Amino acid sequence: MSGNRQIVVTGIGVVTACGGDRETFWQSLTSGTTGIAPIDPPQPLISFPNVAACSDFDPEARFDVRMHRKLDRSAQFGLAAADEAIAHSGIEWDDNLRGRTGVIAGCSIGGSHTQDLCYERLYKLNKVRSEPMAVPNIMPSASTSQISMKYGFRGPSFTMTTACASSGHALGMALWMLRTGQLDVAVSGGHEAMLNLGSLLAWDGLRVVSSSVCKPFADKRPGMVLGEGGAMLVLETLESARARGATIYAELAGFGMNADAHHLTAPSLEGPTGAIQAALADAGLAPTDIEYINAHGTGTSGNDMNEIAAIKSAFGDHAHKLAISSTKSMHGHTIGAAGGIEAAATVLALHHGILPPTINSSPLDPACDLDVIPDVARKQDISAALSNSFAFGGLNAVLAFKKA
């Protein structure tokens, strides 16, 4: 056991509205292609027009009927992303390694579609009995269990739930458990699916959802766009990755987290600033080492202005020298999956030397006067990057990645 093992990313799996697999996702991000589209079928009760739905995702093609029935859409995204990441890693597991591999996922809401259907059956259709799979489908940890069972992974495994930072926290915990030798391999990321009528209506009530598209950091930005999806990374030690000759996509170098202790929906300045500083310290990086930030960048007035202020506060003058983008402008805000999807985007940016843009961000809000990459991806080799996740309720998670 060692407290300072270096942890690297050797597998990536992604399901989003702008790409149902890693390759398509990256092609969309680097070409500025959005997955945001009108709600389908239309929902007259909902005041906002658009979501980022994974409309090409076909569960019947991926899972047999028995399995399909045991998986809420949220868990389907987690399992599909894990399948892709595990295949991508090329790891050949033996029984010993399965015992040393864990699944650590983030999910905010759990089996929201199953819950919505249960309520519809009870209150609208007046059905007197519930679907028997409702309970195991609704539990937020269902996907973690399914991945563990499918692959026989018996190491420490759990699901974290911290709203929009869930999978940022999950990846951070995976890093720390790998670093300290409690795990040798982790499948970690997150998944969320909640684009059903009940959830859409609940979000409508918060008055934070955009009346058009998602325009992070733009002047007069209209708000966030809800998305769905999943992403998983395969994490292992640098030593094991090198020993098996694996392709290393990036190093997950540090994790910082804290709580605002401030407000249920409005962020504080000190919380995000401190979480960024904690991630840098954990990674052993100086502020000047960071060249790119994949921002939380929800597109709401409150988040984006505050996040820019926090970046200025944490980086000082260097804030003006680093590039920033919010890929939520393309895949929407995927809530509990956001940290995982954006970690995947950050790793791919480091690996390919291409920084994805923030589409719809021009003209910029004068209060967001940093280098927000507009519309077109930028070719730039970088050596270190952050991925920010700042949740409702002030729970902050920041991941630091280094080029491998």
Partner 1 sequence: MSDSSLSTQERVLKAMSNVITSDELQVESSLEELGVDSLAAIEILFEVEEEFDINISGDSNKMHRLKTVRDVVEGVERLLAGDEASFWGEETEEEKQAAIDAAAAAASPDSAKDETPGEAPSA
User: Environment class of residue 114 by beta-carbon count within 10 Å: exposed (0-12), middle (13-18) or buried (19+)?
Assistant: buried
Give 127 or 263: the residue with its C-beta nearer to partner 1: 127
**Least distance CB 131 / partner 1 (angstroms):** 7
Give 60 or 317: the residue with its C-beta nearer to partner 1: 60
User: Environment class of residue 49 by beta-carbon count within 10 Å: exposed (0-12), middle (13-18) or buried (19+)?
Assistant: middle
**Least distance CB 132 / partner 1 (angstroms):** 4
Distance CA 171, CA 256 (A): 11
Looking at this protein, which amino acid is placed at residue 378?
A: R
**Least distance CB 67 / partner 1 (angstroms):** 11
Distance CA 317, CA 314 (A): 9
375 binds partner 1, rule: CB under 8 A: no
Q: Which of 133, 248, 259, 309 binds partner 1 (CB under 8 A)?
A: 133
Give 135 or 261: the residue with its C-beta nearer to partner 1: 135
Give 148 or 273: the residue with its C-beta nearer to partner 1: 148
Q: Which of 23, 38, 69, 316 binds partner 1 (CB under 8 A)?
A: 69
Q: Which stretch binds partner 1 (CB under 8 A): 63-71, 200-208, 337-345, 365-373?
A: 63-71
Distance CA 232, CA 79 (A): 9
For partner 1, how many residues bind (rule: CB under 8 A)? 11
Active site members? 164, 296, 333
Residue where the block lists tokens 């809420």 = 72
Distance CA 221, CA 389 (A): 19
Give 42 or 132: the residue with its C-beta nearer to partner 1: 132
DSSP-derived secondary structure for 288-337: GG--EEE----S-HHHHHHHHHHHHHHHGGGGGTSEEE-THHHH-B-GGG
Distance CA 183, CA 185 (A): 6
**Least distance CB 65 / partner 1 (angstroms):** 5
129 binds partner 1, rule: CB under 8 A: yes
Q: Which stretch binds partner 1 (CB under 8 A): 104-112, 129-137, 223-231, 340-348?
A: 129-137
Residue where the block lists tokens 């950091």 = 217
Give 64 or 317: the residue with its C-beta nearer to partner 1: 64
Q: Which stretch binds partner 1 (CB under 8 A): 19-27, 35-43, 64-72, 103-111?
A: 64-72
The contacts of residue 319 (CB under 8 Å, 6+ apart) are 311, 312, 370
Q: Which of 42, 44, 66, 207 binds partner 1 (CB under 8 A)?
A: 66
132 binds partner 1, rule: CB under 8 A: yes
How many helices (H) and strands (E) would you count in the chain?
A: 15, 15
Nearest to 67 by CA among 135, 12, 149: 149
Q: Which stretch binds partner 1 (CB under 8 A): 65-73, 93-101, 196-204, 319-327?
A: 65-73
Looking at this protein, which amino acid is placed at residue 296?
A: H
Cβ atoms within 10 Å of 312's Cβ, excluding its own: 17
**Least distance CB 86 / partner 1 (angstroms):** 25
List beta partners, residue 101.
185
64 binds partner 1, rule: CB under 8 A: yes
CA distances 223 to 72, 179, 181, 354, Å, are 28, 38, 42, 27
131 binds partner 1, rule: CB under 8 A: yes
Backbone angles phi, psi at 384, to 5 degrees: -155, 145
Q: What is the DSSP letter of 335?
A: G
Give 4 or 126: the residue with its C-beta nearer to partner 1: 126
The answer to whether the CB of 114 falls within 8 A of the CB of 131 is yes
Q: Which stretch binds partner 1 (CB under 8 A): 108-116, 125-133, 172-180, 386-394?
A: 125-133
CA atoms within 13 A on the CB side of 80: 28
**Least distance CB 145 / partner 1 (angstroms):** 13
List beta partners, residue 231.
14, 190
Q: Which stretch binds partner 1 (CB under 8 A): 131-139, 170-178, 334-342, 370-378?
A: 131-139
Give 64 or 92: the residue with its C-beta nearer to partner 1: 64
Q: Which of residues 170-199 bind partner 1 (CB under 8 A)?
A: none
Q: Which of 6, 33, 43, 70 binds partner 1 (CB under 8 A)?
A: 70
Binding site residues, partner 1, CB under 8 A: 64-66, 69-70, 129, 131-133, 135-136
